[in-house]
Amino acid sequence: MFLGIFDLRPRAQMKLSSYLILALIPLLALPVPGRAAVSDDVKEIRIRSTWAGLSRESPLVTELLLTPAEDGFSMTGSNSRAGDTTNLKRTVVPAEHVSELIAALELSPQPVLKLADLGISDSEIQEQIDGAVGRYEELKESSESAFALQDYRDSLRAEATLAMALTEGFRSFHTDDYPGVRIEAMFDDGSTLVVGSNSQQFLMLPWQRGEEKTYSASIAIALMKILPDGATNRERLQGPIREWGLRELVSSSMYDELSRLKSEAQAAPALRALESAFEVRNARAQDAVPAIELGPVLFAKLRLPSGVPNLWMFVRLPLNHGVLVDPEGDLNRIRGAMSVVQASPGMVALMKSHPKEDFAVNDGFGFHWLSERAKDQFVAQMAELGRFPELASSPELMRSAVLVTSGPDPDEWIVLPDGRAIHWKRFTDEPASEGTMRCDMTPVGEEEEDLWEKKPNLCFGQLVPEP
């Protein structure tokens, strides 16, 4: 699995991703067939809980080992603060707590949040929704946008619609706060079960097992009963949701739809131009920001109508009174980059083999795009690995190359105009093995500043196989 979701380290700062109300039907949370949800056949459970951020104590690490004992499960482990490790005294965990955790790990994925798990009343949620709507007063200046705003607000009074919207709100995150939990249960028959989360949100939702995400509160509830006092991230597993957490969740869940309404009011011609060539998932019109010398722009997430469904491009396009400054140039550039990726047999096969993961191309902005500095770094790092010498001798290969990323701790690929796709690097603390090397992160735009003192990435330089 290339995404490395259990690599527990600071991740790159990223913008909020798209708001997406899915027509999901909640699934019954039934145990996975084939194993009784009991502790009798558990050989051992390993729990690693970490946190990194802007703190002198960072990183915080709790590691626990649970093994069967006559009186339950023996638990040993350690706590570490900034590298200073303290061994924990052996304790006994009741067998029923272990059974509860195994049962929670084996539940079928719950794709939609249960509102009751927030531990608060509907009126408290609705109050936060009214507050979020109130921050878009400019939409009330015209009757058309005011009607659309009220219609959207009223839709969130329905429990099912609200649950789906809040579920999407869990994608929000902030900087300098990077938790992670990995639970690995090993059984007498040799099988294993691995579940984890890197989420900053309430109860660390969603939890992930392989490529499956679940918004069930059961894992957090069961895990909190096992983690000792003082364990890293234990406080994140307790309810009810706090007021600031609810405010962030509601704001994130409504962000894309409110931004789309604002874009319709302020940049309708630009939106229509994009929609003539692409499927536009979300859009946000932004006024000029003189402090960073940025004029009015339209942010959008879009894809080719007949393209690979999980390949998206994120764009930031200059506006002039709601109209694209260079509509023909913008559309041709976007279409060209997406077409390069779509023409790579290996990259297309990779994306299709991971349909639940989004793959992204950034159009000249953000934290992951192929600036001239990034191109130079890619060629240099491939040379250091002894791979693809033609990149240096044939610079035309890089002129139309495209950088594709996926995952919160992103994997990065370079897709060349000749159809080859190369797995460049991953943001991870995995040690280098034969054929790989530790390497610097991709430069952010054309900045000269080095953002990292050590090499936080693992470079691969591996050709993505064609089907």
**How would you write the pLDDT of the chain (467 residues) with one tens digit per residue?**
333 333 332 323 333 333 222 333 233 334 444 444 456 799 999 999 999 988 889 999 999 999 999 999 999 999 999 889 999 999 999 999 999 999 999 999 999 999 999 999 999 999 999 999 999 988 888 889 999 999 999 999 999 999 999 999 998 878 789 999 999 999 999 999 999 999 999 999 999 998 899 999 999 999 999 999 999 999 999 999 999 999 999 999 999 999 999 999 999 999 999 999 999 999 999 999 998 889 999 999 999 999 999 999 999 999 999 999 999 999 999 999 999 999 999 999 999 999 989 999 999 887 788 999 999 999 999 999 999 999 999 989 999 999 999 987 899 999 999 999 999 999 888 899 999 999 998 887 655 555 445 688 999 999 999 98
The pLDDT, as a whole number, for residue 2 is 36
As a whole number of angstroms, the distance between CA 410 and CA 40 comes to 38
| Tokens of residue 185, six digits | 């249960």
Angle (CA) 436 7 96, round 5°: 140
C-alpha to C-alpha distance for 185 and 41, rounded to whole angstroms = 10
* Number of Cβ atoms within 10 Å of the Cβ of 158: 11
pLDDT of residue 445: 63
Burial class (CB in 10 A: 0-12, 13-18, 19+), 461: buried
Q: How far apart are CA 81 and CA 25, in angstroms?
A: 43
The CA distances from residue 371 to 347, 367, 368, 445, in Å, are: 21, 10, 9, 5
Query: What does the pLDDT read at residue 381?
Result: 97
- Residue recorded with tokens 């294993």: 192
- Supply the pLDDT for residue 11: 29
| Cα 214 to Cα 203: distance, rounded to the nearest angstrom | 12
Q: Rounded to an integer, what distance in angstroms lies between the CA atom of residue 49 and that of residue 375?
A: 36
Residue 429 is predicted with a pLDDT of 81
Q: What pLDDT, on a 0 to 100 scale, did the predictor assign at position 38?
A: 58
* Gap between the Cα atoms of 170 and 175, Å rounded: 15
Nearby residues of 205 by Cβ (< 8 Å), 6 or more positions away? 113, 170, 197, 199, 215, 217, 220
Q: Which amino acid appears at position 98 of this protein?
A: V
Give the span between the Cα atoms of 61 and 179, in whole angstroms. Answer: 10
Mode of pairing for the β-strands spanning 359-362 and 311-320:
parallel
Bridge partners of residue 320, in order along the sequence: 323
Which tokens is 84 given? 């200073």
Q: 454 is written with which tokens?
A: 């050590």
In angstroms, the CA 210 to CA 214 distance is: 11
In angstroms, what CA-CA distances link 351 with 5, 14, 341?
17, 21, 10
Tokens of 326: 């260079």
Pairwise CA distance, residues 289 & 430, whole Å = 39
d(CA 449, CA 399): 24
Q: Return the pLDDT at 231.
A: 97
Residue 43's SS3 state is strand
Cβ-proximal residues to 242 (8 Å cutoff; 6+ apart), any chain: none
